[in-house]
Structure 1
């Protein structure tokens, strides 16, 4: 898709302070909308107001609440009030000026017709979400850069520990190997049970479980350390038996013909795999995007100039983070590179799933 060329929209940007809303916003925004904006602590996602001045220079004609996860390449319109097309245009103009890949729009009050009129396409609704996950029933996206990205189904993990299984299932649904109607909680927990190192899924166990579930799908595991991983936070006795299971997973990889590549997987190789229509399950830390250093699996499935597009099966409702943020999420190459260096020895773990007719992943 070609980059959009648009005239800049005159606007002003001010921080969003929930306890001290600007007077022009209080006069413009419906009470229930403003209360929803203030209902969660969005401070971790740089909340700000993009306001379009009115003709009198005193009031605002429109305003949008805008947030985004740190270390990403998008803006999200939580809501817009007043002259909504003007507010949305101002946000798009800002994103273009910053060279971002996309703008998203949560569908709290926006209709499909309104979004389409502003150049936004609907996002597929989630197939599942955790009980404590927030978010609107609908969402929209507008890409601002070259490159076509096909949309996988969005499935929010229903537990705190099944991210690895979910990313694998979504990868296979995106590839057409798994019917979308089969992507459900039974499939999520079944694959997790086969892959888990209790409760996390480490790269070798996850790769072996994927191969067992889909024998015709080529799988390559990338892990550039020769030791048990994701165990540093546990006591010695807890680490010991999980390390035994990881050694068993390595033997299983050899028995099932799943290669373990000990080379460091660079970002160029991840992009190359995506270009071959392979899908990369990548282990990352959530420190950059969410503020806490917890290992987490995401799916890398698309690429645009300067960013890799991922699916994150988890969203942090406490910060106003929703499935709209986590779905079709562009992350700059440098940010993804940094967040996928895990633990103090900065290892990288990934599982690359190829298409059955294309052969094994390689670089």
Structure 2
């Protein structure tokens, strides 16, 4: 994308959005034809706010354009839900607001955005999800295997603009496809499939529910996918792929939520996964995987399946697999196969998601006993000529 010439931005008004307690704010926005969608869900966990552009007569109550903006906590982006009134002025105000915060990215849900307005503002369309938006998932409290099925009803389209050094910038190369997990326990399998699709090893059209469940079945520790079992399943599925498991504890993991009798046989399966890893030549690196090492792997165009807690981003202390696939200044770009419909979160949030380095470092220290687990996937060797 060529650099976008920035239009002058009028003074920006930023106010919190609380749909159930701000009737005066909504009345002020009424002449801008505010979508009912703004009040349809409780977005409070994602810091919703209005970014508005005042009129030329300096009347603070006369807004010519406004946007509803939100973002997952601990991340490096803002998301425009809708822009109303003078759409282009409102979007320019959001971009300026994001720059003021040193963020890496602005996204724009495609509910009402036109492709012409998006292009004029320097946004590019994101690849639509391979799974329909209403096939994504919701969390189960206390479940340590990942989120559970639900209804997200996300937009059909979404747009993104990357912000580096004061100008629009190309995103990390080779945008991966987006696929939302269709069960509450298949996040690990989905991230592995996304990594292979992004690397060109798996055709995107092959990433479907059959593939999702088949890989999960080979990797599962019932119901979770623990790091060693997931690494072994990836090597079995793609024997020529370089796979390294990173796990900085020498014991079974993801079992502390289960009663003792349930832990025992799953621990046995995890020990068997280590035996299989040794047999297949999958190294298990017991050193702590630093953020610097993750960024170095991504600079080499490798992929890192990273086990994180959703406590910071979503408010649920649930272990969950995400795919790390790119870097931008100050943040790692991930794919999250799950979005929280209840918080107004959609695939637009979860796709090409920049997470600040320090935040990701905290998220990736999992469980009360604080371990880090990951699967690093390298390139398959080039075929002999």
Same fold at TM > 0.5: yes
Show the counterpart of 2:113: 110
Aligned pair in 2 of structure 1 residues 297, 188: CA closer, same or farther (>3 Å)? Answer: same
How well do the aligned residues superpose, as a CA RMSD in angstroms?
1.5
1:308 and 2:332 correspond:
yes
1:199 aligned to which of 213, 220, 223: 223
| Runs of at least 4 residues off by over 4 Å | 1-8
1:24 aligned to which of 22, 28, 53: 28
Show the counterpart of 1:149: 172
Show the counterpart of 1:45: 46
Q: Deviations over 1:305-349 (max 9, x none)?
A: 000000000000011000000000000110000000011221100
1:13 and 2:36 correspond:
no
Q: Distance in 2 between matches of 1:175 and 1:279?
A: 8
1:233 and 2:237 correspond:
no
Q: Distance in 2 between matches of 1:9 and 1:91?
A: 11
Give 1:275-354 correspondences, 5 Å limit: 275-354=299-378
Show the counterpart of 1:36: 37
Q: Deviations over 1:173-210 (max 9, x none)?
A: 00000011100000000000000001110000000000
- Tell me the secondary structure at the aligned position of residue 234 of structure 1: coil
Show the counterpart of 2:145: none
Q: Distance in 2 between matches of 1:347 and 1:198?
A: 20
Q: Distance in 1 between matches of 2:327 and 2:118?
A: 24
Q: 1:12: how far off? A: 0.3
Q: 1:99: how far off? A: 0.7
TM-score (norm 2): 0.90
Q: 1:2: how far off? A: 9.1
- Tell me the secondary structure at the aligned position of residue 195 of structure 2: helix
Q: Deviations over 1:160-185 (max 9, x none)?
A: 11000000000000000001110000
1:74–1:104 Cα contact (<8 Å) kept: yes
Q: Distance in 2 between matches of 1:287 and 1:134?
A: 23
2:340–2:346 Cα contact (<8 Å) kept: yes
- Tell me the secondary structure at the aligned position of residue 95 of structure 2: helix
- Tell me the secondary structure at the aligned position of residue 275 of structure 2: helix
1:147–1:304 Cα contact (<8 Å) kept: no
Show the counterpart of 2:139: none
Please, which runs of 5 or more residues in structure 1 have no aligned partner?
Answer: 359-363
- Tell me the secondary structure at the aligned position of residue 89 of structure 1: helix
1:3–1:144 Cα contact (<8 Å) kept: no
Q: Distance in 2 between matches of 1:310 and 1:4?
A: 25
Show the counterpart of 1:87: 90
Show the counterpart of 2:295: 271
Show the counterpart of 1:135: 154
